Amino acid sequence: MSSANDAKILTLRKKIQEKKSNVVKIKFVPVTNCSIELDGVRHNISVLNQHQLMLLLIKLNSYKLSITDLEVSNVDRPYGQLLKNISISGYTIQEWITDIKLKLDVLLQNVVENDLKELEKKLNTLLSEDKKTELELANIANLLKD
C-alpha cells in the first residue's frame, strides 16, 4: 500500500518541480523612488501589501482616466499641457502605475512559490520511511559521484 502512495507522491513532487521551474523570476526594479504622497499621506510601495497596492493602483488609474475624460490633450487650452504632464511626488502617473503593477507581480510570484513549497512539504511528510531513506541514499550517492 505504501509503495503505491509513494509512487503517487513522487509523481506529484515531479509536477511541483516542473511548476517551480516554470515560475518566472521577477525582480522589482522600480522606475520611481517608491515613495508617493497622495492626499497628504506618504506611501512606500516597497512595503505595502497586495490590498494596499491595489487601492493605490485604482486611485492612480482613476486620475489617469479623469485626465483623459476631461479632454485635456488639447494643448491650446492654457491648462491642457499642465494636466497632461501632471506628476505626483516627482514622477508621472504612468510611472507609478508601472511600479505598482511590477510590485504586485512580485508579490503574486512569492505567493505561488510559497504555495508550491508548502505542497512539497506536505508530500514529503506523506512519504513512507523506507522511501525517504531510499531517496536520501540516492541523493548521497549522487553527491559522491564525481
Q: For a pLDDT cut of 90, what percent of the chain falls above it?
A: 52
pLDDT > 50? residue 74: yes
Cell numbers representing residue 95 in the block: 510611472
Q: Worst-scoring range by mean pLDDT, 68-72, 89-93, 94-98, 127-131? A: 68-72
